[in-house]
Structure 1
Amino acid sequence: MAQPNAAAIKAAYATALKQQNAGQFGAAFKAYEAIVQAAPRLAEAHYQMGRVALELYRPRTAVVALTKAARLKSNVPEILRAKAEAEVAASDQAQALKTLGKLVSLRPSDPAPKVEQAKVLQQLGRFDEALNIIGKLLKKQPEDGQLYRLLTFPRRMQADDPVIPQMQALWDQQLSDQSRIDLGYALAKTMGDLGQHDQVFTYLDAANALQCKQAAPNMDGVEDEAAQLIAAQQGAKLPALAAPQAPSPIFITGMPRSGTTLVERIFGRHPQVGMAEEIAAGFRLARATLGNNPKAMAPLSQAKPEMLSAVAQRMRVSLAETSSQQGAQFVTDKSIMTYLVMPALAAAMPDARFVVVRRDPRDVALSIYRNHFADGTHRYSTDLEAIARQIVVFERCIDAFRDTLGDRMIEVRYEDLVDDPDTQIPRLITGAGLDWNDACLHPEDAEGAVRTLSLGQVRAPVYKSSKGGWRRFETEMQPFIKTYEALTHVPFRD
């Protein structure tokens, strides 16, 4: 864009915005790059470039663009919100807190940035500070169910906590569906902490039913897509396992609540490993190598080399920009959907390793049902029969791809890991091609934020108390148990 005039810049910006709104993020990013080169003081272009960089899973690039936008227009809430989001994604929670602090100063009566502050503090393990913010917000918004959920989940509730009768009284009042959903999860968690197990499912069933009404699962579609992905990748001839190419990916996959965060923290204690948590780019990029038709996916053997190369390049950029440790030789990504496309990712990145975490399906199902997931994600989580179908999809993928992946894939059972960490942890580390390091035996000492639902548990030493929790709710879990046994034709033995 040589010496453009104002009209040309305006036209280029309109084109970039149109591309962005159409989901053409790569083209939009290049267009915004040209615009900010020609018009470096155009804050809107820096802002949109940052938003697009986030869509491309490039959070550090997004932080740079949004920082420039914030310098040019320091009092625009939308810019500060996006900047804080990018900083969290780039594992810079400390800077995100500063950005959110500016947003609070700009909008002192707006509770939203204060809620985000509390969430970031929880990610950092600064639970008392988060509790202080949430407590102040509750005094002003005593009917906000989200605040009770944030208050109860990272800590063990005690019987004398004054917030408990407050929540119970609120449950009997008229509430918005969303507040009742959040309050239901909070009360179920609290009843479990207090040992009042007969009351847990009263609240869980109500909360999940409301959330299911908002976004019902489409398990027929999920199962059909998984079958297509298996057919396209199973038995594919993969390139030989290659030497690490920094950043070399270690994909950790499993069902939600199966122990993947614990496994990532184990790897994160290794001095050569950075943690990216859940990038979510791998599934989308790898899926594209199999064509655009979900009903007739092309075999992986027909994937074009240039497309596989592009997947590897974009994935490594995302890993580098999201890693908790800049310049790490290896970076973990524990995105849940990875199990669907492991062979395609291995074809694109021959140095990739895959760690599959398995756990008693009944404990997985109970933990999924007890937890609130972000809107629009894990839709199966609100229905016990749907959870059974989703777990079976996961298990079918692992069984289908085991021989294809060979030594690239390491499997570990959560129960074995917590029963015998001194044996299982070294097996994981060396199996992923890393030299042994004693620090890996102490995942509770891992530095950095935790953005998953396990943000409280993983800061404690490896423990066994969550094994077999489903037994307290065997009657309530029957819809899951019966569906799972019917699908697998294998009855549970205990």
Structure 2
Amino acid sequence: MSSPEHTPSNPFVFVVGCPRSGTTLLQRMLDSHPQLAVANDTHFIPRVLKHERQPDPPLTEALVERTRTYRRFYRLGLSDEEVRAAAAGAPTYRAFVGNLYTRFARRHGKPLAGEKTPDYGRHLPLLNTLFPQARFIHILRDGRNVALSTLSWASEDKGPGKWTLWRENPVATCALWWRWQMEAARRDGALLGPDRYLEV
């Protein structure tokens, strides 16, 4: 049984899309709503679960610690005490993460929480399994504009700059990267239906 604070409505929404598509602007707009706090680029959910055998494993101290110490988790702004409280009584990882986002929302004086991590578009099946009530907003930007923006942003340790092809043909790499991100989210998002998946 999950803790009394766990509400199945959090995280309420995920903002996804190819990086350099305007996801940060959309995150800021949604975050300005009086009922919704939207976290920015925490990336932790699929990475913490990467080596688990099931999408919603029983919550263990090791999972809590991997979550708490993930390099971008600090962006939720939760103290160690708040993380421990979110874990208390949570039987599964899903309940724990729901509690984390509920605490994140409360910290901002709001009832609902969301997450903007662009590459979560490649993890829609996992996120759907964990949070079957969540909504997904997929922001689509013209691939040519994404490529132009990416050329000045990417580096050998960031974005498509990590790919070997980048050194030979950065424009083609940007195009492939955009297509890969966009097609994965569109394919998996279509399975969720129009009441849970929206392209803008």
TM range (shorter): 0.5 to 0.7
Question: CA shift at 1:324, angstroms?
Answer: 8.8
Distance in 2 separating the partners of 1:321 and 1:384: 42
Show the counterpart of 1:283. 46
Q: Deviations over 1:340-376 (max 9, x none)?
A: 1112111111221111000110001100112256x73
Change (3 A) 1:304 1:322: closer
Structure 1: gaps spanning 5 or more residues: 1-243, 292-302, 413-494
Structure 2 CA distance for partners of 1:398 and 1:246, relative to 1, 3 Å: closer
Q: Which residue of 2 aligns with 1:329?
A: 111
| Aligned-partner Cα distance in 1 for 2:132–2:49 | 13
2:97 is the counterpart of 1:315:
yes
Amino acid aligned to 1:264: Q
Q: Which residue of 2 aligns with 1:340?
A: 122
The partner residue of 1:262 within 11, 25, 42 is: 25
Name the residue aligned to 1:380: 161
Aligned length: 156
* C-alpha distance 342-356 of structure 1, shift in aligned 2 (>3 A): same
Give the whole-Å Cα distance in 1 for the aligned partners of 2:26 and 2:57: 33
Answer whether contact 2:10 2:134 (CA < 8 A) is retained.
Answer: no
Matches of 2:140 and 2:101, distance apart in 1: 24
Distance 1:352 1:372 in 2: 30
- AA aligned to 2:32 is R
Q: Residue deviations 1:217-258, cap 9 Å, x none?
A: xxxxxxxxxxxxxxxxxxxxxxxxxxx635333110111111
Larger radius of gyration: 1
Higher strand share: 2
* Offset from partner CA, 1:162-202 (integer Å, 9 cap, x none): xxxxxxxxxxxxxxxxxxxxxxxxxxxxxxxxxxxxxxxxx
Other-structure match for 1:369: 151
What does 1:50-199 correspond to in 2, within 5 Å?
none
Is this contact kept in 1: 2:27–2:40, CA < 8 A?
A: yes
Supply the distance in 1 between the matched residues of 2:157 and 2:104 (Cα, whole angstroms). Answer: 23
Contact map agreement 1:251 1:352 (CA 8 A) in 2: yes
Give the 3-state SS of the residue equivalent to 1:332 in structure 2.
strand
Structure 1: distance between partners of 2:44 and 2:104:
11
Counterpart CA distance in 1 for 2:161 and 2:154 is 12
Higher helix fraction (1 or 2): 1
Whether the 8 Å contact between 1:255 and 1:394 is mirrored in structure 2 is yes
Structure 2 distance, partners of 1:361, 1:305, is 34
Q: Distance in 2 between matches of 1:399 and 1:260?
A: 16
State the SS of the aligned residue for 1:341: helix
Q: Contact between 2:58 and 2:93, CA under 8 Å: does it hold in 1?
A: yes
Cα separation, partners in 2 of 1:327 and 1:307, compared to 1, 3 Å: farther
Give the distance between the partners of 2:186 and 2:102, measured in 1 at CA.
Answer: 31
Question: Post-superposition shift, 1:317?
Answer: 4.4
CA drift at 1:398: 2.2
From the superposition, tell whether residues 288 and 400 of structure 1 become closer, same or farther in structure 2 (CA, over 3 Å): farther
Residues 1:404 and 2:185 aligned together: no
**Compared CA separation, residues 287 and 410, structure 1 to 2 (3 A):** farther
Contact 2:102 2:112 in 1 (8 A): no
Cα deviation code 1:20-50 (max 9, x no counterpart): xxxxxxxxxxxxxxxxxxxxxxxxxxxxxxx
**Contact 1:247–1:320, Cα closer than 8 Å, also in 2:** yes
Q: Which amino acid aligns with 2:120?
A: T
SS of the residue corresponding to residue 405 of structure 1 reads: coil
1:333 shift after superposition: 1.1
Report if the CA contact (8 A) 1:255-1:336 is conserved.
Answer: yes
Per-residue displacement from partner, 1:426-465 (whole Å, max 9, x unpaired)? xxxxxxxxxxxxxxxxxxxxxxxxxxxxxxxxxxxxxxxx
Higher relative contact order (CA 8 A, sep 6+): 2
> Residue 336 and residue 275 in structure 1: after superposition, are their counterparts in 2 closer, same or farther (change >3 A)?
same
The separation in 2 between residues aligned to 1:324 and 1:385, in whole angstroms, is 44
Match of 1:271 in 2: 34
Query: 1:245 is matched with which residue?
Result: 8
Instruction: Note the 1:21-32 alignment, pairs <5 A.
Output: none
C-alpha separation between the residues in 2 aligned to 1:249 and 1:286? 20
Structural mapping, 1:43-54, within 5 Å: none
Structure 1 residues 306 and 286, CA gap change in structure 2 (3 angstroms): closer
Is 1:352 aligned to residue 134 of structure 2? yes
